[in-house]
Amino acid sequence: MITYETSNFVTLGALGFLGLSPLLMRFRAENFFLAYLAVLLLFTGTLYGQLDVSTLKMNDKDIFTVYTRGEGVLTISAIKIYLLLLTLYIGVVCRKCKKNVELSGYKVGLLLAMLSVYYLLYALIGYVFGVTFQNIVASSGGVCFVFMLMFHFVLKRSLIRQSNIDRFCEVFIVITVAMAVYGLARLPFGGDPANYYANFEKKAVVLTFFDIGQGAISCVALVLLVLKRKELFPLGLWRGIWILLLIANIILSYRREAWVGILLVLGFAIYWGPMIRKVFLLVLGALLIVTILFVSESRFTSVAHSGKDQTFSDITNKSGNVVVKSGRFGELYAAVMVTLFNSPVFGLGPWGNQEITARDGVLGFVHSSFVHIFSKMGFVGLTLYFWFIVGFFSWWLRTRKKRWNNNSLLRIGDAFFLGFIFFVPDLLFGTPTIIYRHYQLLTLFMTIPFTVWQIDQAETQ
* pLDDT digits (tens), the chain, 461 positions: 678 787 777 888 888 888 777 666 666 777 888 889 999 999 987 666 676 554 445 444 567 788 876 655 567 788 898 899 889 888 877 655 555 556 656 788 899 999 999 999 999 999 999 888 888 888 888 999 999 999 999 998 888 888 889 999 999 999 999 999 999 999 999 898 888 888 877 787 889 999 999 999 999 999 999 887 566 555 677 788 899 999 999 999 988 899 999 999 999 988 887 777 777 788 888 888 888 888 877 666 554 444 455 556 556 556 666 666 666 777 888 888 888 998 899 998 898 766 665 555 556 678 899 999 999 999 999 999 999 999 999 999 999 999 898 889 999 999 999 999 999 999 998 888 889 999 999 999 999 999 999 998 886 65
Tell me, yes or no, whether 328 lies in a domain: no
Tell me, yes or no, whether 258 lies in a domain: yes
441, 216 contact by CB (below 8 A): yes
| pLDDT score of 149 | 95
301, 203 contact by CB (below 8 A): yes
Distance CA 254, CA 208 (A): 8
Tell me, yes or no, whether 106 lies in a domain: yes
Which burial class, exposed, middle or buried, applies to 104 when counting CB atoms under 10 A from its CB (0-12, 13-18, 19+)? Answer: exposed
| pLDDT score of 62 | 62
Tell me, yes or no, whether 191 lies in a domain: yes
Distance CA 50, CA 44 (A): 13
| pLDDT score of 306 | 46
| pLDDT score of 304 | 46
Domain span holding position 388 = 8-287+382-458
315, 329 contact by CB (below 8 A): yes
Tell me, yes or no, whether 317 lies in a domain: no
Tell me, yes or no, whether 34 lies in a domain: yes
Closest listed residue to residue 247, CA positions, set 278, 292, 206, 202: 292
Please give the tally of structural domains in the chain. 1
Tell me, yes or no, whether 162 lies in a domain: yes
Q: Angle between the 108-128 and 436-458 helix axes, to the nearest 10 degrees?
A: 140
Closest listed residue to residue 240, CA positions, set 255, 254, 229: 229
Tell me, yes or no, whether 433 lies in a domain: yes
| pLDDT score of 116 | 96
pTM of the complete model beyond 0.85 = yes
Distance CA 439, CA 401 (A): 27
| pLDDT score of 1 | 64
| pLDDT score of 357 | 56
